[in-house]
Amino acid sequence: MSSLAWKINRIKAMSPAELLFRVGRVVQGKVEKQRLSAGWRPKPKGSVGSRGGLFQGESEQIVSQWRAAYAGQLAGYEPLLDGDVDIFGHLKVNLLDGFNWHRDPESGIVAPLLYGKGIDYRDNHQVGNCKTLWEVARHPHLVPLAVAYAVTGDERYVRLVTSQIDSWIAQNPFGLGVHWCSTLEVALRLVAWALVHSLFCLRDEQGLFSRVSDSEALGNAIYQHAHFIRHYLSRHSSANNHLIGELTGLWLGCRVFDLGAEGEVWAALAKRELEAEAVKQVFEDGVNKEQANYYHLWVMEYLYLNWLVGERYAEPFSDTFRERIIGMQRFISALRPPGGVVPQIGDSDDGVVARFEPADSPDPYREVCSAIQAVLEDGCEAQYLSQKVFWYSLIAGRSAQIDAGPEADDQPAGQLFPKGGYAVLRGGGAHLIFDAGPLGYPSIAAHGHADALSFCMALDGQWWLVDPGTYCYHTQPDWRDYFRSTAAHNALEVNGHDQSLIGGAFLWLQRSKQQIGELQQSADGEQQSISGSVSGYADPQIRHHREITLDARQRKLRVTDRIEGGAAALRLLFQFHPNVRLYPGELKHHFYAEIEGEPHRLEICADEALQWEVRHGEENPHLGWYSERLGQKVPIDVLVGTLQAASGCTINCEFSW
């Protein structure tokens, strides 16, 4: 899609009020660009200092507790001194020897040192892959280095941290370059600096200020980060998780660092808006409105970290804010099958709010949920006492509460989240998630997929039927479109159309309309049924109805699809996990699936009215792919059924194990 076409589509998604706001932002940028050319830089009225580190308690006691719990991890920090940083699990970057913060580590392209707000970060020829370029400049890798210094006192970690902050400040004058382009990137860097400073404070109350080469330059940079965030907050159709992340950076920056009277005003604004956004962006049942599990995780951790900081500085958030956090934790925990992991639904970008350990968490959902449970609920299980649980609990001034009992599967058989549009069915070793929620939030639904009425299924904790993941954002637009498409999900494609119309990499135009029914359960919970419907498919007359019924006693799942509104060419798809192999049965509409080493065999009796075939990892057009992390994709088996159907046509498929 051309830049002009994207701009036209983007304008279509704006209200008149937003159009006026965007014009104002353009004027604001032009004025700022001229001021920067004349030598202006925002500067604090006084010197920037510390308001005290985040972590509460006696430093010696904290270090002693850490060593008692995590001494076995100490050796893992030593390799970090080599300067290697892992990006999204497939790209290693070395930050030593004059690292260029403007060079995309993936493509080698060096982004120009121009006015940041004027750089088109979507232009791969100008900046390379901005996702990898930005990731390292968020400085999440500096926090584990600061942990290592805090618990060992080894000065080598200090030198590596401060040299990178010094070099970043030297190479990135305020407002210039790709790192002054996105407000969220500025905010996440400020979060990292606040955590690093707080960890350094365990050894020296001046924290970073006594260790960098130029404390005044650091203070100015901190102030400029907060100033930039305050004046470029995401608004209108861009006010999704980005706004909450930006406010998080502003809140932490103005609580951890002393930015004078302006800092107090900005902190009050950040807290007030965070309270409002928690209600705007999270349904009462705990579902994040962006309809993407990983962004649910982002928002959940943002809100929890903000709540902790409020406790630390005796500026508590409301009970409603707290309840939204607990609701989010309970929803995402309900999606996890016993012994398994939370599935991918919607976009996932693999980033983190904060990382304390030397390597990425193998289960970031469990890590954040445990941190919340340890302080706000009945405690987390001892085997999930990660460093995030430890350090976050210290911000609240509490020891993490430990539930000493074994991991319990205390979820009810069936659960409905009616506002968010999800249902969870459980029994007979199966765990199913049915998605009939909105496309996304706000009007552009940037991180939603065309996956209405799709479902995922796990057996004894292992996922068999899956959501495809994300794979890429700003590069390879054809793959970006595929992984968001209806054909990449366990869904029904009608007349070759997605349920909603793609308008850009993070933009939907014509949006589908869907609704979820009531959860039906037998008295003993052995039979559970949920239904939903969706209209869209570039035809307002077409409506797809789906009902899924789990019979736990017979270990069967029935999927019933019905199409209304006219005759249509249908393509029904079922996507299988990369570990699953799909084989034809004795009849043309019978198939079976197996995972090597797993006891289950999944029998599939598909509707014989359709023409069925197994497809696998095709590229022209794309079909049958799965991505567990950004930048990585693998071929998978997908069962595809096609039919030229009359209005009112019903399709029945049955899965048994």
pLDDT reported for residue 407: 54
Computed over every residue of the chain, the mean pLDDT equals 95
User: 220, 221, 194: which is closest to 208 by C-alpha?
Assistant: 194
CA distances from residue 80 to 70, 76, 91, 99 in whole angstroms, order as listed: 17, 8, 15, 16
pLDDT reported for residue 37: 97
**Per-residue pLDDT averaged across 410-438, rounded?**
95
Please list the residues that pair with 640 across neighbouring strands. 573, 613
**Per-residue pLDDT averaged across 118-128, rounded?**
92
Q: Is 60 exposed, middle or buried (0-12, 13-18, 19+ CB in 10 A)?
A: exposed
CA distances from residue 140 to 185, 229, 557 in whole angstroms, order as listed: 11, 18, 43
**Per-residue pLDDT averaged across 238-250, rounded?**
98
Tokens in use for 237? 């159709």
* pLDDT band (50, 70, 90) for residue 402: low
CA 622 – CA 516 distance, rounded (Å): 30
CA 269 – CA 272 distance, rounded (Å): 5
Percent of the chain with pLDDT over 90: 90
CA 311 – CA 328 distance, rounded (Å): 19
Tokens in use for 328? 């989010």
* pLDDT band (50, 70, 90) for residue 409: low
pLDDT reported for residue 564: 97
Is the pLDDT assigned to residue 401 strictly greater than 70?
no
**Per-residue pLDDT averaged across 137-150, rounded?**
97
pLDDT reported for residue 408: 55
CA 568 – CA 644 distance, rounded (Å): 6
CA 645 – CA 609 distance, rounded (Å): 10
pLDDT reported for residue 628: 95
Place of tokens 């990137």: 185
> For residue 513, which amino acid is it?
K
User: 548, 575, 340, 635: which is closest to 459 by C-alpha?
Assistant: 340
User: 514, 530, 534: which is closest to 426 by C-alpha?
Assistant: 530
DSSP type of residue 414:
E
Tokens in use for 14? 């704006």
Tokens in use for 6? 């994207």
* Contact call for residues 328 and 300 (beta carbons, < 8 A): yes
Q: What is the DSSP string of 350-375?
A: ---S---SSS--S-HHHHHHHHHHHH
CA 114 – CA 118 distance, rounded (Å): 7
CA distances from residue 182 to 14, 238, 258, 606 in whole angstroms, order as listed: 19, 12, 24, 48
Percent of the chain with pLDDT over 70: 98
Model pTM above 0.85: yes
Q: Read off the pLDDT of residues 245-293 as tens digits, 9 standing for 90 and up.
A: 999 999 999 999 999 999 999 999 999 999 999 999 999 999 999 999 9
CA 461 – CA 457 distance, rounded (Å): 9
Tell how strand 539-551 and strand 625-626 pair up: unpaired
CA 59 – CA 151 distance, rounded (Å): 9
pLDDT reported for residue 400: 66
Q: Where are the alpha helices (DSSP H) in 93-154?
A: 124-127, 130-137, 142-152
* Contact call for residues 517 and 532 (beta carbons, < 8 A): yes
CA 204 – CA 211 distance, rounded (Å): 9
Q: What is the DSSP string of 475-502?
A: S-HHHHHHHHSGGGSSSEEETTB-SS-E
* pLDDT band (50, 70, 90) for residue 70: very high
Query: Quick check: helix, strand or coil at residue 559?
Result: strand
CA 219 – CA 159 distance, rounded (Å): 18
CA distances from residue 557 to 74, 485, 526, 527, 595 in whole angstroms, order as listed: 48, 25, 12, 10, 19
Tokens in use for 373? 């449970």
CA 611 – CA 651 distance, rounded (Å): 12
Q: Read off the pLDDT of residues 508-522 as tens digits, 9 standing for 90 and up.
A: 999 999 999 999 999
Is the pLDDT assigned to residue 6 strictly greater than 60?
yes
pLDDT reported for residue 575: 98
User: 563, 81, 49, 56: which is closest to 260 by C-alpha?
Assistant: 49
* pLDDT band (50, 70, 90) for residue 88: confident
